[in-house]
Amino acid sequence: MAPRPEEKDFPYWLVAVVLLGLFFLYRIISDDLHAQILTTLFKGVRITIFVTLVSFALASTVGLLLALGTGSKWLFVRQVVRFYVEIVRGVPIIVLLLYVAFVLAPAMVALWNWAVVRVGIEPLQTRDFSLLWRAIIALMIAYSAFISEVFRAGFQSVDDGQVEAARALGLNRWQRFRLVVLPQAFRTILPPLGNDFVAMVKDSSLVSVLGVLDVTQLGKVTAASNFRYFETYNVVALVYLTMTIGLSLVLRHLERHLRRNAPRWTTSFDHA
């Protein structure tokens, strides 16, 4: 497959980013204040990565189930899925985060206590439901609605003739999905799914609203203690840029690899 015009361009933007990154790295190495800020923020990188990976994995799983639900033969399932997707997509993530943390989580604890008290299990307190997992659940709910639309569009991009050919070969519904629909849809799904993953890294900063000690929250605490807002938030931005641009480059390389190997995907069911 011939390379696209933008793939022939020399990545001047990447050179500019690398030079800017090296400049800030030099400032961090040569300045004790920047080094101290970075050391503090590194404690929150683990939380940021954990929140991003777990939330995205759960959101992708729920999103896939929702996308499959849109193609259900039952009207009730299709309408419930559409109701969920439209409602969740219409609520700002920060509002959803606060709603889950202070409304849904206490309701879940109350429901759990109502169920377990009948069998003699000790009830939970609302404070036992950690703010970290409340944030993860909120991000999962928010992103599952968007990811379901990514999966749905990818599945619908597969030509009906491919599915009919697989049916003619005697493949059942699961085999058609696994061997024909999913491999071909994956190339369509990957770019927007990768964008959602990068966006999840950035939106994970919203958990700082609940006091979760991620990179953003530690940046806020550090800036409030040293009053060096310019230096502190420069380092915060550098940490996020390092993660997001690194992920973007990896995903872009993967997309090019999949395009070069496109024929391998489009004929996978021939060997069923």
pLDDT tens profile 5-64: 555 677 777 788 788 878 877 877 788 888 888 888 988 999 999 999 999 999 999 999
Torsion of CA 83, 84, 85, 89, to 10 degrees: 110
The count of structural domains within the chain is 1
Residue 268: pLDDT over 50: no
Mean pLDDT of 92-116: 90
Domain span at residue 263?
Answer: 5-271
In one-letter notation, the amino acid at residue 67 is: A
CB 134 within 8 A of CB 105: yes
Say what the pLDDT of residue 214 is.
93
Residue 172: pLDDT over 80: no
Residue 170: pLDDT over 60: yes
| Distance, CA of 269 to CA of 267 (rounded, Å) | 6
CB 176 within 8 A of CB 28: no
Say what the pLDDT of residue 267 is.
44
pLDDT band at 262 (very low <50, low <70, confident <90, very high): low
Say what the pLDDT of residue 30 is.
81
| Distance, CA of 201 to CA of 52 (rounded, Å) | 6
pLDDT exceeding 70 applies to what percent of the chain? Answer: 92
pLDDT exceeding 90 applies to what percent of the chain? Answer: 43
Say what the pLDDT of residue 24 is.
78
CB 229 within 8 A of CB 147: no
Mean pLDDT of 136-143: 96
Say what the pLDDT of residue 111 is.
86
Q: Alpha helices of the chain — where are they, by DSSP H?
A: 5-8, 12-30, 32-70, 75-89, 93-99, 105-116, 131-156, 160-168, 173-176, 182-203, 215-226, 229-260, 262-266
Q: 28 is written with which tokens? A: 């961090």
Say what the pLDDT of residue 10 is.
75
Q: Is 171 helix (H, G, I), strand (E, B) or coil?
A: coil
Q: 261 is written with which tokens? A: 């190997």
Say what the pLDDT of residue 31 is.
81
Alpha carbon distance, N-terminus to C-terminus of the chain: 26
pLDDT band at 197 (very low <50, low <70, confident <90, very high): very high
Residue 94: pLDDT over 60: yes
| Distance, CA of 37 to CA of 42 (rounded, Å) | 9
CATH of the domain at 21: 1.10.3720.10
| Distance, CA of 234 to CA of 122 (rounded, Å) | 47
pTM: 0.84
Chain mean pLDDT for the chain: 85
Query: Residues of 91-114 as b/e, b for ≥16 C-beta within 10 angstroms?
Result: eebeebbbebbeebbeebbeeebe
Say what the pLDDT of residue 4 is.
60
